[in-house]
Copies of this chain bind each other. A is one copy, B any other.
Amino acid sequence: MIAKQYKNMLNGKSVIRTLSEFATERGKEIGYENVFDYSLGNPSVPVPQDFTDVMIKMLQEKNPMELHGYSPSLGIASVKAKIAQSLEERFGVPYKPEHIFPTSGAAAAIAHAVRCVTEPGDEVLTFAPYFPEYGPYINLSGAVLKVVPANTETFQINFEAFEEMLTDKVMAVLVNTPNNPSGVVYSEETISKLAEMLTKKSEEFGHTIYLISDEPYREIIFDGMDAPYVAKYYDNTLTCYSFSKSISLPGERIGYVAVNPNCPDAALLVNMCGQISRGIGHNCPSSIIQLAVAEVLDKTSDLSVYEKNMNLLYDELTALGFTCVRPGGTFYIFPKALEEDAVAFCNKALKYDLVLVPSDSFGVPGYFRMAYCIDTEKVERSLAALRRFVENEYR
C-alpha cells in the first residue's frame, strides 16, 4: 500500500525550487550570468584549502579499513572530542565528547533533536519568519509545528504572541539565529528573555521545555560582531549545527547535535540519538568527512563576500524606499514588498530577470527573500535591474 502521506506531499511544489528552475531555464535563453538569481541558499565561496589537503592526505596515508570503517553508532570518538573542545574554547560551555552527536547536516541534527524531546502529538513552536522545511522536519517526526507570528518591526521574537502559544502541550521551541530568511541575529536581550520564559513555563507546567537551536549560519556575522551563543543562556538546549555554510560543504552532509552539558539529561539525550538513528536509517555521517572536518574546526571559507553583498543590497534597497531590517548575518535579506501580495511583486520582478522569493512560505505575508550568496560583481549588476523594476512598476 503506497503511503498516502508522502504521496500527497508530491502535489505541493516548493516555491523556491520553482523559481530556481525558472532561473535555470531563463539562463538558457539569455545566459545565466544575466539572470539575477537570488533564489537559492547555496554557498558561493569554496571550502578552505586545508579541508581538501586533509582529505587528500588521509586518502594517501591512512589505512583504508580505518578511514572508511564503520563509525561507532554515536560518532567517531576523536571527532566528538575535537568538536567538544572547540565549542568549549569558543563559547565557554564545558562540552565533553559525550555531549556531541555527529549528524548528516543540520537536517539530520533536527530530526534527532526533535525525536529526543517530543512524543507524537506534542507541540513544537518556532518563530516566523522561519525556514519552510521546518514543516516536514517536525511534522513528519510525529510532533506538531506551530508558528508564532513575526515581530515585523525587528524580526526579533514577538513575545506577546509567544507567551499566548506557549501552552503545556509545547515540549520544545525551535529557534534559528542568525535567521533564514530575515538575516537577523537574535540579541542577547531576546535570548535572555526567551530563556527566562522557558524556565518559568517549564516550572509552571512541571516538565522541561527544550530549546532546539538551529545554527548553520552561526559563523556568518557582519560588522565584526559575535552572535550570542544560544545554549549559554538556557541549559536545556540542543544545538543543531551544520558545516554546510561555514565551510561551504552542503553536499557532504556534516553537522552535529551538541547537548548543553548543564542539561540534566545531556548524556542520556545523546545516547538516545543513537537509538533514533536506528529508526530513521541515519547511522552516522560519512567517516572520512567526519575526520576531515574535525581537522578544520577553527577555519571558515572566506565569508566576507556575503557582508559585501549585503551592504550593496541594503544600501540600494533602502535608497529605493524599501522597508528592511538590516541583516546581522547569514546571506539573506528580507525586505517588505512594494505591494501587499508578495507573489505578485516577485512575479513582476521576473520581467527584470530578478529572481526573488515571496515570503508567504516563510510564515510572513508581504515580504520577499534575497539569497545573496552570489558573486559580488553580479550583485552590482543587479542593482540597475532593481532600480528599473521599482521605477517602472511602482512609481
Contacts and interface: CB of A to CB of B under 8 A. Distances in A.
A67 B139 CA distance: 32
A94 interface: no
Contacts of A283: 104-105, 107-108, 253
A59 interface: yes
A133 B56 contact: no
Contact of A70 (B42, B269, B271): B42
Nearest to A70: B250
A46 interface: yes
A55 interface: yes
A105 B253 CA distance: 14
Contacts of A67: 251
Interface string A328-358: 0000000000000000000000000000000
B280 A111 contact: yes
B68 A250 contact: yes
A249 interface: yes
Interface in A255-295: 265, 268-269, 271-272, 275-276, 278-289
Interface stretch (A5-13, A215-223, A225-233, A304-312): A5-13
| Residue in A119, A122, A208 whose Cβ sees the most chain B Cβ within 10 Å | A119
A109 interface: yes
Nearest to A44: B65
A275 B136 contact: yes
Interface string A25-68: 00000000000000000111111000010011001100111011
A248 interface: yes
B7 A268 contact: yes
A389 interface: no
Interface in A61-100: 63-65, 67-71
A41 to B, nearest CB: 9
Nearest to A45: B65
Given A56-B56, A275-B136, A249 B68 contact: yes
How often does this chain occur in the complex, in copies?
A: 2
A64 B122 CA distance: 41
Contact of A6 (B45, B55, B104, B115): B115
A281 B256 CA distance: 12
Contacts of A171: 1
Nearest to A273: B6
Interface string A132-169: 01001101110000000000000000000000000000
A157 B130 CA distance: 51
Given A70-B42, A283-B108, A118 B1 contact: yes
A68 to B, nearest CB: 5
A117 interface: yes
Interface in A357-383: none
User: Top 7 nearest A-B pairs by Cβ distance?
Assistant: A140-B279, A111-B281, A251-B287, A108-B281, A136-B278, A280-B280, A9-B275
8 contacts: A4-B119, A52-B60, A56-B56, A59-B59, A64-B248, A68-B250, A136-B279, A285-B286
